[in-house]
């Protein structure tokens, strides 16, 4: 066993060197001339003929009674970017886990370069050259970037770690693939997006021939995404097969050669990207036309809920906004532009240093979260897992947490009132759950978000701050979240929406506020501008070009 | 039709969750029964009135400690000090009684000191930001030291026979000490499973930040959890002093581990948010029975420690296995 591990390490380290050289030979040109890469591809194509890199035949996976993947036939060509799309629960994650050897398949065959393989363990997959970049960063935050890059494959001399050599080699790898990251920095000192890039660098420089990306851009800024796309194209030119899983359709069309659609564990279609379009794909994914979101038109704005006048604080200055009943204001900007800091300050996380907040027209002081909560401000955080929910407890308990004092007589809970309150809120925000006792962790992302909202509604919240509400959720869930917005607005709530996804801010907001370097640089009324015109303007404003 | 189907599914899930708790309870109860039956057949002395009352008296103290410890563990914390608190408070009550305090006043003062110790833990954890493990490890060693300083290392003998007689007495044939378990367990059950504060403890153990943002006063709840644990320990200190008739700060060494083990065997998760009152009760009597049986079977007492360790691994492993299968 130990010997096997050691062998594997040596093999991997050899692969690694070869790969690093390959990458070096590509130099660090940022220009992505398709002709140039096409040339590269042809040369390799001549050397190794067109046997697909990986072929799946009648791949099947059952978990007890659940049939997660149903007889999937799929082939991945060498050096292609193959997008896989589908709603949550369509079988994408199961597919990744079968390909990376995390789960064994129930039946069916897998061929790697024409030869049948078992893919029974993660080790086997890595040895073949199959790697994945997961949505959540699986690295060691307390080690340096370089140490993470070389983890399991350290540079050693006389049994001692060569820290300096690893930092230098790591920096070279990062520079060569065009990621502007410090190899000597602690991983935990980087943003989530940067950590994701480190994970990508690690996965792509280990003799990888087949690389799976699971929602890689969910946490990336635009520049980081650009760096990532450049790397993906470079890997493709290097004949690495890329499987790209994303909910963001425009990325699929921007990057991929072919796209496969999964629905309910079945492969519905595999098409060339050039021969299909967004609408057709979405229809395939959900097999029903997506309803248009209609709420902006019908809801007249009511009274003013919140107004800030020249509010300043840590990371932002002089921000003046206003939210009325039934209004959504969108905050757009790059990460670090100050919009998160601004809402954190509204929610009492950081005290303001200047300016004034008005609630229902009256000046108020928000010094602590408690002040914000008792006014009726609700924060639906980006990481629902960290701040929003008690995941290993029941849906009902989560919903009732703010109102238990109303469900008790002398602090003893009235079980009938407790159940009734939970059921009422489950119906009200339409949470799809087996029961009020089901664990919050057993629900889908969209439904977990509804629990957070339901909880705040119980609290009597009037203003909802949504921080990146649709990160990593599928099209169907997104539509449900939009419906939830509509319902909140109808009940005269106001919404502040933060999103790095411009089409979303545009679609959902009545007015759009652009942040740059801690300042509100522009405000647009979305109803009066066309999306395309606005898109360019806003990007220019946000990036300060 | 689909409504019906979903309702059935809902019922199935609710039932399964209910079964999970009941199943562990029944397994533990079955284990206890098997132990008792096996010991009744293999020894002459187990199934005697004296031995059973002795077992109930001994188990009672571990049980009360384990219930207190469970409140803390549910918040994803740990209280390592309970054994030291038992020893320390046995000195306090012995000192008070030898200085002619009336019994009721001595008990109240001792419980008050337990409350102060628990509040100090809460202060260290919430205000000074110390990890519970460190905070209670520090008071573990400090309290033993203070106890020894008070008596200068000596043992205080308790001459008040009203006080010591209580531990030997019984009511309806059941030892008084065992009744004390019910005195603690019944309010604890109501507190943990039927009051909002119980819900808050679970919520804190699951996700403190979410609980805090939901308006739960998490600082106060953590104070409450550690105060309850220390109060239970002080109560056990009183019972122990009554039982052995002395106060000595070195008593009850290692009882914190017995309490934690009982709680964990009873299904409490050290990661927080999972636990009950009946679980630790059963867990503590299982541990006590094993020790008692080992004595009767003339098993070297050193082996008892090994057996306890093995049992913790086996039970927690099977429990984890069952949870994962779900």
- Averages of pLDDT over each 10 residues, chain B, 326 residues: 44 48 80 89 86 89 95 94 94 92 93 96 94 94 92 86 82 87 94 90 89 86 96 95 90 89 87 88 91 85 81 75 57
Neighbours of A115 (CB within 10 A): 9
Q: What is the DSSP string of A202-213?
A: HHHTSS-SEEEE
* Nearest-neighbour CA in chain B from A148: distance (Å): 27
In a domain, B153, yes or no: yes
Mean pLDDT of chain A: 79
In a domain, B102, yes or no: yes
What pLDDT score was predicted for residue B135?
94
CA–CA distance, A411 with A407 (Å, rounded to integer) = 8
Inter-chain contact A413–B199, Cβ cutoff 8 Å? yes
> In which band, very low, low, confident or very high, does the pLDDT at A24 lie, cut at 50, 70 and 90?
very low
In a domain, B96, yes or no: yes
Find the DSSP H helices in chain B: 2-42, 49-74, 82-98, 103-122, 132-151, 161-168, 176-194, 196-206, 208-213, 218-244, 255-265, 278-296, 301-325
Interval A422-465: pLDDT, tens:
998 888 888 888 888 888 877 777 778 888 888 888 888 889 99
Q: Which residues pair with A311 in a beta bridge?
A: A319
CA–CA distance, B284 with A411 (Å, rounded to integer) = 29
Both tokens of B300, joined, read 């070297």
In a domain, B71, yes or no: yes
Is A355 touching B (CB cutoff 8 A)? Answer: no
Burial class from Cβ neighbours inside 10 Å (0-12, 13-18, 19+) for residue B198 reads buried
Is B213 touching A (CB cutoff 8 A)? Answer: yes
Mean pLDDT of all residues in A128-143 = 84
Of A387, A393, A408, the CB nearest to B209: A387
Chain A, nearest residue to B216 by Cα: A402
What is the residue range of B178's domain? 49-325
CA–CA distance, A323 with A492 (Å, rounded to integer) = 11
In a domain, B6, yes or no: no
* Nearest-neighbour CA in chain B from A221: distance (Å): 27
Distance of CA B171 to the CA centre of its chain: 23
In a domain, B59, yes or no: yes
Hunting for tokens 């808050």 — which residue is that? Answer: B200
Chain B, nearest residue to A434 by Cα: B10
| Cβ pair A446, A481 in contact under 8 A | yes
Interval A328-384: pLDDT, tens:
898 887 666 788 888 888 888 888 888 899 998 889 988 888 888 888 898 887 766
CA angle A157, A161, A163 (to 5 degrees): 115
We report the CATH number of the domain holding residue B176 as 1.10.3470
Interval A174-221: pLDDT, tens:
888 888 888 888 888 888 788 888 988 888 887 889 999 988 887 787
In a domain, B10, yes or no: no
Interval A490-516: pLDDT, tens:
888 899 998 876 667 777 888 888 887
**Against a cut of 0.95, is the pTM above it?**
no
Inter-chain contact B197–A411, Cβ cutoff 8 Å? yes
Is B199 touching A (CB cutoff 8 A)? Answer: yes
> DSSP 3-state assignment of A59?
strand
| Cβ pair A468, A498 in contact under 8 A | yes
Number of domains in chain B: 1
Inter-chain contact B10–A434, Cβ cutoff 8 Å? yes
CATH numbers and ranges of domains, chain A: 2-286 (3.40.50.300), 293-376+462-545 (3.40.50.300), 382-460 (no CATH)
Widest Cα–Cα separation across chain A: 81
Interval A213-260: pLDDT, tens:
988 887 787 788 888 898 899 889 888 999 998 877 788 888 999 999
* Nearest-neighbour CA in chain B from A403: distance (Å): 9
Which of A434, A440, A448, A451 to probe by mutation at the B interface, max B CB count within 10 Å? A434
Burial class from Cβ neighbours inside 10 Å (0-12, 13-18, 19+) for residue B129 reads exposed
Chain A, nearest residue to B3 by Cα: A434
What pLDDT score was predicted for residue A489?
86
Confidence check: pLDDT of A65 > 80: no
In a domain, B295, yes or no: yes
Is B19 touching A (CB cutoff 8 A)? Answer: no
Is A451 touching B (CB cutoff 8 A)? Answer: no
Of A389, A398, A411, the CB nearest to B195: A411
* DSSP letter assigned to residue B214: T
Confidence check: pLDDT of A34 > 50: no
Interval A152-161: pLDDT, tens:
777 777 777 7
Considering only CA atoms, give the Rg of chain B.
21
> DSSP 3-state assignment of A361?
coil
């Amino acid at each position: 066993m130990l010997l096997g591990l050691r062998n594997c390490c040596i093999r991997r380290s050899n692969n690694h060197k070869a790969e690093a050289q390959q990458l070096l030979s590509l130099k660090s040109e940022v220009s992505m001339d398709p002709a140039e890469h096409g040339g590269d591809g042809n040369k390799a194509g001549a050397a190794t003929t067109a046997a697909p890199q990986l072929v799946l035949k009648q791949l099947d996976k059952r978990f007890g009674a659940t049939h997660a993947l149903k007889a999937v036939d799929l082939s991945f060509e060498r050096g292609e970017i193959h997008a896989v799309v589908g709603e949550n629960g369509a079988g994408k994650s199961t597919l990744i886990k079968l390909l990376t050897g995390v789960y064994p398949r129930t039946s069916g065959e897998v061929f790697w370069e024409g030869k049948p393989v078992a893919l029974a363990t993660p080790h086997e997959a890595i040895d073949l050259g199959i790697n994945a970049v997961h949505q959540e960063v699986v690295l060691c935050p307390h080690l340096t970037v370089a140490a993470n890059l070389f983890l399991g494959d350290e540079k050693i001399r006389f049994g001692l770690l060569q820290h300096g050599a690893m930092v230098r080699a790591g920096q070279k790898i990062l520079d060569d693939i065009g990621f502007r990251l410090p190899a000597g920095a602690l991983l935990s000192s980087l943003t989530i997006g940067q950590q994701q890039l480190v994970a990508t660098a690690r996965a792509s420089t280990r003799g990888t021939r087949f690389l799976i990306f699971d929602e890689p851009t969910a946490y990336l800024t635009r520049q980081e995404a650009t760096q990532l796309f450049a790397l993906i194209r470079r890997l493709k030119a290097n004949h690495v097969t890329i499987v790209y899983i994303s909910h963001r359709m425009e990325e699929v069309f921007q990057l991929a050669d072919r796209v496969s659609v999964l629905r309910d564990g079945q492969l519905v279609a595999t098409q060339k990207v050039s021969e299909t379009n967004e609408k057709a794909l979405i229809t395939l994914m959900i097999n029903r036309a997506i309803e248009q979101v209609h709420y902006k038109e019908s809801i007249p704005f009511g009274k003013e809920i919140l107004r800030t006048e020249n509010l300043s604080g840590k990371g932002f200055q002089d921000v003046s906004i206003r939210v009325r009943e039934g209004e959504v204001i969108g905050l757009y900007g790059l990460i670090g532009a100050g919009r998160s800091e601004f809402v954190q300050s509204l929610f009492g996380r950081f005290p303001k240093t200047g300016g004034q907040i008005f609630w229902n027209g009256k000046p108020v002081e928000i010094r602590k979260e408690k002040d914000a909560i008792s006014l009726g401000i609700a924060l639906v955080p980006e990481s629902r897992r960290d701040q929003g929910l008690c995941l290993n407890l029941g849906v009902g308990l989560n919903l009732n947490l703010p109102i238990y004092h109303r469900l008790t007589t002398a602090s003893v809970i009235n079980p009938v009132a407790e159940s009734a309150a939970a059921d009422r809120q489950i119906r009200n925000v339409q949470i799809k759950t087996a029961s009020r006792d089901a664990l919050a962790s057993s629900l889908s992302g969209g439904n977990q978000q509804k629990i957070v909202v339901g909880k705040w509604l119980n609290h009597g919240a009037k203003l909802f701050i949504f921080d990146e509400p649709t990160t990593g959720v599928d099209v169907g869930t997104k539509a449900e979240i939009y419906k939830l917005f509509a319902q909140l607005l109808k009940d005269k709530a106001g919404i502040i929406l933060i999103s790095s996804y411009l089409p979303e801010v545009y679609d959902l907001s009545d007015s759009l506020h652009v942040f740059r370097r801690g300042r509100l640089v522009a405000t647009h009324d979305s109803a009066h501008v066309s999306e395309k015109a606005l898109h360019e303007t806003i990007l220019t404003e946000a990036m300060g070009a | 039709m689909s409504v019906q189907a979903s309702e059935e599914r809902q019922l199935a899930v609710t039932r399964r969750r209910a079964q999970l708790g009941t199943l562990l309870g029944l397994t533990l109860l079955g284990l206890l029964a098997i132990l008792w039956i096996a010991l009744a057949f293999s020894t002459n002395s187990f199934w005697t009135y004296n031995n059973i009352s002795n077992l109930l008296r001994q188990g009672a103290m571990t049980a009360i400690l384990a219930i207190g410890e469970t409140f803390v563990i549910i918040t994803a914390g740990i209280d390592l000090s309970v054994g030291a608190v038992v020893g320390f408070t046995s000195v306090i009550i012995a000192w008070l009684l030898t200085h002619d305090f009336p019994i009721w006043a001595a008990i109240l003062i001792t419980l008050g000191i337990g409350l102060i110790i628990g509040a100090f833990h809460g202060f260290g954890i919430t205000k000074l930001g110390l990890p519970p493990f460190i905070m209670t490890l520090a008071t573990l060693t400090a309290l033993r030291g203070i106890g020894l300083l008070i008596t200068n290392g000596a043992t205080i003998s308790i001459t008040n026979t009203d006080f010591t007689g209580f531990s030997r007495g019984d009511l309806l044939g059941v030892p008084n000490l065992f009744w004390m378990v019910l005195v603690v367990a019944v309010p604890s059950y109501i507190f943990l499973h039927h009051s909002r504060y119980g819900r808050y403890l679970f919520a804190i153990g699951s996700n403190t930040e979410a609980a805090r943002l939901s308006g739960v006063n998490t600082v106060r709840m953590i104070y409450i959890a550690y105060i309850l644990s220390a109060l239970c320990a002080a109560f056990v200190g009183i019972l122990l002093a009554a039982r052995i008739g002395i106060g000595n700060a070195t008593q009850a060494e290692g009882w914190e581990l017995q309490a934690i083990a009982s709680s964990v065997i009873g299904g409490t998760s050290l990661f927080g948010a999972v636990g009950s009152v009946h679980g630790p009760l059963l867990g503590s009597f299982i541990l006590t029975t094993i020790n008692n049986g080992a004595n009767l079977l003339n098993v070297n007492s050193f082996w008892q420690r090994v057996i306890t360790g093995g049992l913790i691994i086996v039970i927690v492993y099977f429990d984890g296995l069952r949870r994962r299968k779900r």
